[in-house]
Structure 1
């Protein structure tokens, strides 16, 4: 799309949608940051989340209206269920001590699972965007930028607040993830 022919109302709508999707990454990042996370890991996790915020809506746009109608609710329920499991496990882990392992973001599977949980709603939004005459490149780039940037901010804030929370940081982070999981399901 050429800048001269850009519909600025459409761009404003895309910016608001990208911000809303990024808020999921932000809030979940706060919950994860409570556990404690290194600065380099914040950048790595946020990059992967940004990438997933590009790929998931792109796949959704390609899937089209019909598939979104069938899978949109299932994807949200699956994401909510995963967040409930992760949040409950984090609370359990904080109460039991170091003997219980939670999702490890330092390995590839843990990182991919977290990025998928954060970005699963982007698929449904992408399906909705696929029904409209939306600029695909602009849409996915905005979604990726906001997803990655908001997760950096959320992870960093969670990390800072986790220092204040001390040993209860993981339980607080788990409770936050648990609440968001329940909200996704309801």
Structure 2
């Protein structure tokens, strides 16, 4: 997988974190909120591909055609992101501070579960799994910062619509796994 593809995947995976950060930033946008979201979302987006890659390396020894599994995972994640981005619910802003306690851990896990599947994909090819995971984590942290910032500027700027774009990026990369 090329570095451009890793950045494309990092960009797509960061859309969930961006959307959540955007919603949080509508009401909670102090320096503490920026740091909490960027640190936790980035950390979980970094760790989940490592865990997924470990699972993928184990599976690679027992499963033939892991590239088809990788494509299916990307299609599923992309479809879910597009579906979630299209549905129109007015839950763009949070009323209670979700950057404290268990709710922050829950949001971190929820926004990084897709990265677990991407870790499986990283195990398929000759990738530097640690570097790829690091890129994904850093990009996600940056997107979280921008999400809080844009959320603080406007409640309905573009939030969930970016998730649709991220879903399409994952589907295109999934198609590449089937073709190559």
Query: TM-score range with shorter-chain normalisation?
Result: 0.5 to 0.7
Is 1:139 the equivalent of 2:132?
Answer: yes
**1:1-186 superposed matches below 5 A:** 10-64=2-56, 65=59, 69=69, 72=73, 90=91, 104-162=97-155
Question: What 5-or-longer segments of structure 1 have no aligned partner?
Answer: 1-8, 95-100, 163-171
Q: 1:19 to 1:106 in 2, by over 3 A?
A: closer
Deviation at 1:90, TM superposition (A): 4.3
Larger radius of gyration: 1
CA distance in structure 2 between the partners assigned to 1:18 and 1:62 by the alignment? 19
Say if 2:51 and 2:119, in contact at 8 Å, map to a contact too. yes
CA distance in structure 2 between the partners assigned to 1:117 and 1:102 by the alignment? 19
Q: 1:35 to 1:118 in 2, by over 3 A?
A: same
* 1:97-141, Cα deviation, whole Å (9 max, x unpaired): xxxx95642422011111112111111111111111110121111
CA distance in structure 1 between the partners assigned to 2:50 and 2:29 by the alignment? 29
Say if 2:18 and 2:147, in contact at 8 Å, map to a contact too. yes
Runs (4+) off by over 3 Å: 65-73, 87-91, 101-104
Question: What 5-or-longer segments of structure 2 have no aligned partner?
Answer: 168-180
Q: 1:103 to 1:112 in 2, by over 3 A?
A: farther
Count of matched residue positions in the alignment of Structure 1 and Structure 2: 151
Q: Which has the higher helix share?
A: 1
CA-based RMSD of the aligned residues comes to 3.7
Say if 1:49 and 1:119, in contact at 8 Å, map to a contact too. yes
CA distance in structure 1 between the partners assigned to 2:7 and 2:33 by the alignment? 27
CA distance in structure 2 between the partners assigned to 1:134 and 1:103 by the alignment? 41
